[in-house]
């Protein structure tokens, strides 16, 4: 029985992990661009819905402000009429001038509110129109998303059991690999299109297919150190490990 702490056993585990990941990659390839398409359509639909909600909120808020401004204008105009009536009742020029100033200030406020009211009215109408224009675009995006999601669900269902089995196997193998080796494996895998551990075939790297020096092939067979390809950096494994990947106990 080979102990798990030995280099040979770690290489067996790494090669087994690579084979499992190869299977998962093949299942992923069967899905094609569907996962990416579904993700992008989901984001698009969410963005459109969020934008529509923002526009609707802007329209509602502008209407509220418009109504408040309209109400204030009505109150101010009533105040102006009241001031004008009082002008006929005052007995001094000072009182008359004071009321005139109040009328001028109030009329200035009315003019300012009237401009704001027009702007708010325009904002409300524009926001409502833009929100309504987004409705068919949202419907189209959601319809396409639904269709693509159904396609992806169908593919996932066809291979669900196999994927679950492989992921379970991956967990069992990965937990037995030394953390530093597992980290190195994951790093190489990300950089080399998913292939981190490869066999040496006919004295050539199974990843980049460049020739492996004879001395390195001999060292590899002795299993004295974890060796990588001088060209591509992938982890190399000898024939005896390739042919006994199931012997992990």
pLDDT digits (tens, 9 = 90+) for 13-31: 999 999 999 999 999 888 8
Contact (CB, 8 A) for 90 and 97:
no
User: In the CATH scheme, what is the code of domain 7-30+178-242?
Assistant: 1.10.287.1490
- pTM for this structure? 0.60
Contact (CB, 8 A) for 34 and 152:
yes
Per-residue pLDDT reduced to its tens digit, 113-133: 999 999 999 999 999 999 999
Parallel, antiparallel or unpaired: strands 197-201 and 235-237 = parallel
- Other CB atoms within 10 A of residue 10 CB: 18
Token pair, residue 12, equals: 């067996």
Token pair, residue 185, equals: 């494996």
Q: Tell me what pLDDT residue 245 has.
A: 59
Token pair, residue 208, equals: 């980049």
| Cβ-Cβ contacts under 8 Å for 186 (sequence gap 6 or more) | 196
How many H-runs (helices) and E-runs (strands) does the chain carry? 7, 3
pLDDT of residue 1 exceeding 50, the answer is no
What is d(CA 123, CA 185) in angstroms, rounded to the nearest whole number?
57
pLDDT of residue 247 exceeding 60, the answer is no
Please, what's the b/e burial string for 23-34 (b: 16 or more CB within 10 A of its CB; e: otherwise)?
bbeebeeebeeb
């Amino acid at each position: 029985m080979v102990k798990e702490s030995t280099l040979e056993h770690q290489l067996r585990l790494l090669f087994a992990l690579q084979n499992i990941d190869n299977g998962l990659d093949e299942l992923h390839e069967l899905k094609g661009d569907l996962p990416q398409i579904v993700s992008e359509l989901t984001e698009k639909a969410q963005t459109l819905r969020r934008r529509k909600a923002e526009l609707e909120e802007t329209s509602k808020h502008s209407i509220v402000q418009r109504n408040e401004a309209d109400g204030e204008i009505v109150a101010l105009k009533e105040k102006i009429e009241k001031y004008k009536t009082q002008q006929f009742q005052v007995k001094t020029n000072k009182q008359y001038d004071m009321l005139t100033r109040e009328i001028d200030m109030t009329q200035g406020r009315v003019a300012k509110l009237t401009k704001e009211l027009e702007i708010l009215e325009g904002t409300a109408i524009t926001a409502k129109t833009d929100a309504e224009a987004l409705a068919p675009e949202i419907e189209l995006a959601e319809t396409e998303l639904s269709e693509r999601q159904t396609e992806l669900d169908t593919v996932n269902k066809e291979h669900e059991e196999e994927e679950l089995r492989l992921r379970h196997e991956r967990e069992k193998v990965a937990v037995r690999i030394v953390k530093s080796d597992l980290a190195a494996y994951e790093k190489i895998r990300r950089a080399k299109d998913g292939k981190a551990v490869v066999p040496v075939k006919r004295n050539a790297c199974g990843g980049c297919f460049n020739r492996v020096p004879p001395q390195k092939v001999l060292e590899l067979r002795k299993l004295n150190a974890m060796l990588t390809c001088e060209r591509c950096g992938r982890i190399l494994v000898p024939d005896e490990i390739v042919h006994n990947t199931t012997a992990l106990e």
